[in-house]
Structure 1
């Protein structure tokens, strides 16, 4: 699932942008703040008591009218997509987005100013690898009501194609494609949001788009425009004179590209799919995308990734000589039979370890643990995972024989299946954060018969023997 060659990135320092929210019309200050590894994207409402944090997670999407809106414990973030698209487009993995209002500044209706701000402060590489989801099969979501559909297919890198058709003469059918995320700034970032005249009239009547002057939205005139409506628009947007250009848009601004609408929809897709919480490696093809279909697809893919991560069983050739046999393990770990619960170490890097245990009927614990129907105690599975993790943390010191590994915390322990005599257990431990001051925080899994049998998040510390 991950591509070890690519490291996670955050920004080098804080950067602030000021503007107004498109729908709230409120002045807003937004600050991008560097964040630690595996943090992802999170919003912090600094204007509220306790400064609550909302993760950029598809499961918090509550509304997709006029933007992708998130809510957690009554705290809201509106129109999150342009900011998130900028972060993905610039290859930033971990950032806290601080806001003193429910909505990021709309700026010019694109992601251009966010990209420029991120570029000014620059990115820094972090130690942990970026955990990409590598698409292996075709995955789709279709909204039968609108005919909108999103599909992702295998590809060598993250690519997006959007096809837009609103059934209007003025806009027609448009396509846009981003072959490489490194081209986001040049190809996509300045594509501005757009609206149709009939939508604008409704929004004005309902008191929405308070922050929307015509400098941050392209308005496509999809119907005859009466003199009365034109006067209303001129008043709403503080313009002395408005007219319709030959290409069917209001004359407040000039298109950056003929297919700017399709490019903006592509920008929205990237922003909405950031809510999956995992970088993608695959080609997205979005036909008539919108925030509803985008976020429904994000929820579906997020769920699939979680299930696959939980059930992904590492494959190892057990006929090959191990990296560490029982003698090397005993030279490093202080444990001894009957409490030494790993037989081999198959893999070891600076961020993960894989161990193995053959469970036989001769295990001393079977004598008392259901002798008539022997089952390996769950606590001993956790202990075996911890010993495997002990190898990882002890490998960071030159004299491991002089250290002990002690538990600090065990969390989120789950037992999925019984482990019985004859099973070969594979233990995989991955660092959640880098080892610091001898403290190891890791996610551990145990597998048998190509199935996940138990899992736990654990923290341990190595201490010098006295």
Structure 2
């Protein structure tokens, strides 16, 4: 799985009719900055409102997942989101001049092809994974639905479906590696049983559905007169099924288990609504959109529960965002006041820096000789330098500015920092920059434990 966040290199559009609304629309994917996530924009509405792809914005689950924010609604988002997640794209603005993304052929493949044509671009920030550390379960006993997320240092999904049908036996599908999504899952189409078709039309759904964008499963004997009625319903000159039971118009399946694979596709798209890429193994029996969204809400609740105590993860095997040479080119500090060894994450609102504490630090010669403890003021200096890199990243010409620390509040030192410790500093903005002044919260961790914290105010001053 990718370490860095990704977006697309250029904008790309697809056009077509929406499955449920029947309204033609053009959907345009645009590049977006780090930590932007997925956002839909209704360009056909006054003010062109934004709708965040967030599970808390789900308002309808009638044969698809519909989200709404500030009065703007977007229908059937799951196939679009599945394509983005399947390509490990983290940030995109999705402009839409109608109420629903085009259904295309009923799968995600056309979106995948468009995104690949636009090109994928790595960004200068690490992916903010939600790592499943303990099992998360969801059950709906009435519908015999079970979903679980288990710890795994990867993203793997297995889906089982069972419709108690003679046409579709029990099926399962597995995605062992997210990089296989484009080839193994993306082309699998949505489906509907014949006995559901008329009911869906009566519910004012699938107005844009026809035999080119959905698999219709014939699960009972059909008379000739009924086929004529179905042809009228689907706006086709003729429909037929040579076998007593099978697929309407004898549509060829891409895979024998295409239905299970499409359910997996839907789950990938629905779970995108948690707002972060997932590391875990997902096991689902008989899932649907309502169950997927309920499960996504449980995951988001777990994310919120752990967010307060989230410690930045540091893998020394991974290349840094900035090494010591780049840091030296940005900050004017030099030995013995050059405190940060590398930057491992940097985006528009936060930064993570590493300080390796050794017995060779100059301050250990005189600070508690025989009992070396890193002075709190030096911990604070290292934190401030980490924050200074974040502040300088806000201007296009950082070499022309000095970052000054002008205020400290709520400073606490929680435990001693000793030679041999690796301190991970994380600073994030708590207010937007105004007239060169910005507020930050900084925290330092050693071995997962908080060692120091402070609220800082910094000033960005242009060099004369």
Taking the TM superposition and a 5 Å limit, the aligned residue runs for 1:401-420 are 403-405=402-404
- 1:191 & 1:115 partners in 2: Cα distance? 12
Mark the CA change 1:344 to 1:215 in structure 2 (over 3 Å): closer, same or farther.
same
Cα pair 2:413 2:452 within 8 Å, conserved? no
2:78 is the counterpart of 1:84: no
Residue 297 of structure 1 pairs with residue 291 of structure 2: no
How far apart are the structure 2 equivalents of 1:234 and 1:169? 24
| CA deviations over 1:417-438 (Å, ceiling 9, x no partner) | xx88976699842467xxx9x9
Corresponding residue to 2:278 among 280, 291, 313: 280
Residue in structure 2 matched with residue 131 of structure 1 by the alignment: 128
Q: Secondary structure at the match of 1:240?
A: coil
Instruction: Output one character per residue of 1:132-154: Cα deviation in whole Å (capped at 9) or x when no partner.
Output: 22222222211232121211112
CA contact (8 A) 1:7 1:128 kept: yes
Question: 1:223 Cα shift?
Answer: 3.0
Task: Give the counterpart of 1:141 among 119, 138, 141.
Answer: 138
Question: Does the 8 Å CA contact 1:108/1:192 hold for their aligned counterparts?
Answer: yes
Confirm whether residue 20 of structure 1 aligns to residue 14 of structure 2: no
Taking the TM superposition and a 5 Å limit, the aligned residue runs for 1:36-435 are 36-246=33-243, 248-251=246-249, 253-313=251-311, 332=333, 348-349=342-343, 351=346, 352-353=352-353, 387=384, 389-390=386-387, 392=389, 403-405=402-404, 428-430=425-427
* CA apart distance, 1:226: 4.1
| Equivalent-residue separation in structure 2 for 1:21 and 1:272 (angstroms) | 18
**In the alignment, is the contact (CA less than 8 A) between 2:414 and 2:450 conserved in 1?**
no
Following superposition, the deviation at residue 211 of structure 1 comes to 0.6
Partner of 1:337: none
Specify the SS of the correspondent of 2:236.
coil
Distance in 2 between the 1:210 and 1:252 partners?
Answer: 22
Cα deviation per residue 1:373-432 (whole Å; 9 max; x = unaligned)? xxxxxxxxxx99973644545999xx99x9442679x9xx9x9xxx88976699842467
TM-score, structure 2 as length reference: 0.76
User: What's 2:373 paired with?
Assistant: none
Name the CA shift for 1:443/1:136 in 2 (closer, same or farther; >3 Å). farther
Query: Would the alpha carbon gap of residues 100 and 73 (structure 1) be closer, same or farther in structure 2, given more than 3 Å must change?
Result: same
- Aligned residue-pair number: 405
CA positional deviation for 1:64: 1.1
Secondary structure in 2 matching 1:251 = helix
Shift of 1:98: 0.4
Tell whether the 8 Å contact from 2:425 to 2:443 is kept in structure 1 after alignment: yes
Unaligned 5+ runs, structure 1: 317-330, 334-342, 357-382
SS in 1 for 2:41: strand
CA RMSD across the alignment: 4.0
C-alpha displacement at 1:27, in angstroms?
0.8
2: CA distance, partners of 1:454 / 1:227: 76
SS of the residue 1:311 aligns to: coil
CA displacement at 1:205 relative to structure 2: 2.6
- For residues 393 and 242 of structure 1, the distance between their equivalents in structure 2, rounded to whole angstroms, comes to 62
Distance 1:194 1:422, change over 3 A: closer
Q: 1:22 to 1:447 in 2, by over 3 A?
A: same
Tell me the SS of whatever aligns to 1:82. helix
Q: Which residue of the partner structure matches residue 375 of structure 1?
A: none
Q: For residue 255 of structure 1, report the CA deviation from its aligned partner.
A: 0.8
> 1 CA distance for matches of 2:454 and 2:189?
46
Q: CA deviation at 1:347?
A: 6.7
Are the equivalent residues in 2 in contact too, given 1:134–1:282 (CA < 8 A)?
A: yes
Structure 2 distance, partners of 1:293, 1:440, is 46
> Which position in structure 2 is the counterpart of 1:339?
none
C-alpha contact 2:427 2:440 (8 A) present in aligned 1: yes
Distance 1:42 1:57 in 2: 9
Distance verdict in 2 for CA 1:234–1:156, change over 3 Å: same
The answer to whether the 8 Å contact 1:394/1:403 transfers is: no
The alpha-carbon distance between structure 1 residues 276 and 243, as it changes in their structure 2 partners (threshold 3 A), is same
Change (3 A) 1:428 1:240: same
Distance 1:245 1:82 in 2: 31
Offset at residue 192 of structure 1 (A): 0.2
Provide, for residues 32-57 of structure 1, a one-character-per-residue CA deviation record: whole Å limited to 9, x for no partner.
01111111110000001111001111
Moved more, 242-251 or 267-276: 242-251
